[in-house]
Amino acid sequence: MSGSLKHCVVIPALAVTLAAVVLRADDPVPAAKISASDRAFLEDLERRSVLYFWEQADPSTGLVLDRANADGGRAKGPSREVSSIAATGFGLTAVCIGSEHGWIPRKDAIARVRTTLDFLANKAEAEHGWFYHWMNAANGERRWDSETSSVDTSFLLAGVLTCSSYFSQDPEISRLAQEIFERVDFQWMLDGDPLLLSHGWKRGKGFLKYKWDFYSEASLLYLLAIGSPTHPISSESWYGWQRPYYSYDSFDFISGGPLFTHQYSHAWIDFRNRRDRGFIDFYRNSVNATRANRAYCANLKDQLPNTFGPQIWGITASDGPKGYRIYGEIKAFEPVDGTVAPSAAGGSLMFTPDISIPALRDIRERYGDQVYRRYGFVDGYNPTAKWFDSDVVGIDVGITLLSAENLLTGDVWRWFMSNEAISRGMDLAGFSAPPQPEQPAPKKKTAAKTAHKRSTPHKI
């Protein structure tokens, strides 16, 4: 079936008998087996991604540009000086990854994180602790009449809290991270609603009319809000948003948007082997959504023979021949036009390495430096239209990086989940207890890192 998803039933959060049968996790998620060749490929992709966040962050503010040229340097047009707070959250986490791999000297990583957190805590424009979606990278001034964005601030906070954990021996980083997080007024962002958070607030106009009332990328936002030590919202907020239930091919899953909605919160929150009171395993839900995306692309191969193939798949929000588009298999979004987004497979590495790694490797092998450049994969390409992007987008580089690191080491999950706020949020929301933590394998990890350092002697 090459049309949109077969059917959708909107179900309240606790009325999920059908979904529980499909999505509940009775068996632990098995550890993925990654070949040496695949590991080397992913580590090269990670190193390039870290380079983006190191080079495209303003050194005086730490704010990360929303996009850049795939070969380095500024993007063309109005985006060239605009930073994204979501990209900055990914960027803070990228600094931790770079430091851990030895690609960034630890003292330089600490200095960059201190600079960024000090700017956010003491200089950046904010409202009730919420940051503006778009800011001038050099001075933090609001750009594009943007809102204080609730969900984008949550991605920033995830990066802040990851740094707090990773650099826990640095008292200044810990202090600044705590200050930034604790001043965020989650109750204010409810805008009077007992359960549902607003998308944001605009100066001179007030709160946006939209609420986070359906399944989306906002699960991180809600769990941080519930776990806040200073401005918490009700734990029932987790069950206040609806969970549309879809079926495609042999896959059943809750969804509300393109594939990135199944990825972003998972970059930091380890949902594996845990269920909420609705018996939903959100990790397995994302696995099913990813496999449905691949099946959907496979069913388009006759319509778009030059785009999708046995290995290549992947549609999500990305650049396209006519600009940035919200591509999705759900009819409410932009129709698929043959554009492939490498971040679709990249962002799902932590869910489906068996189909994500082959997709990325085939894309690189087939198109070479048309798609794989200084910062990894370009944001999109369309063989049907003979179009290849010249840019990378920070959040898409970021989700690919964090997903790859979680697949290879689980480190981002481990660093972020050690924060008390997220543990408290998940406990209050009624999630089942986490499984016993995996013991790290330092010998194997050290060997991998040493081998990589031998092949890449120059640090970033």
CATH number, domain of 268, equals 1.50.10.140
Residue-level pLDDT at 218: 97
Full residue range of the structural domain in which residue 187 is found: 7-432
CA distances from 243 to 19, 213, 216, 263 (A): 10, 9, 9, 16
The number of domains in the chain is 1
Residue 360 is assigned to a structural domain of this protein = yes
Give the sign of the dihedral formed by CA 281, CA 284, CA 288, CA 294: positive
Residue 389 is assigned to a structural domain of this protein = yes
Q: Is the pLDDT of residue 173 over 70?
A: yes
Residue 453 is assigned to a structural domain of this protein = no
Residue-level pLDDT at 439: 61
Residue 459 is assigned to a structural domain of this protein = no
What is the distance between the alpha carbons of residues 135 and 85, in angstroms, rounded to a whole number? 8
Q: Is the pLDDT of residue 255 over 60?
A: yes
Residue 213 is assigned to a structural domain of this protein = yes
Tens-place pLDDT, residues 257-314: 899 999 999 999 999 999 999 899 999 999 999 999 999 999 988 888 889 988 999 9
Residue 284 is assigned to a structural domain of this protein = yes
Give the sign of the dihedral formed by CA 211, CA 13, CA 158, CA 352: negative
Residue 443 is assigned to a structural domain of this protein = no
Q: Is the pLDDT of residue 444 over 90?
A: no
Q: Show the tokens assigned to 95.
A: 């600094």
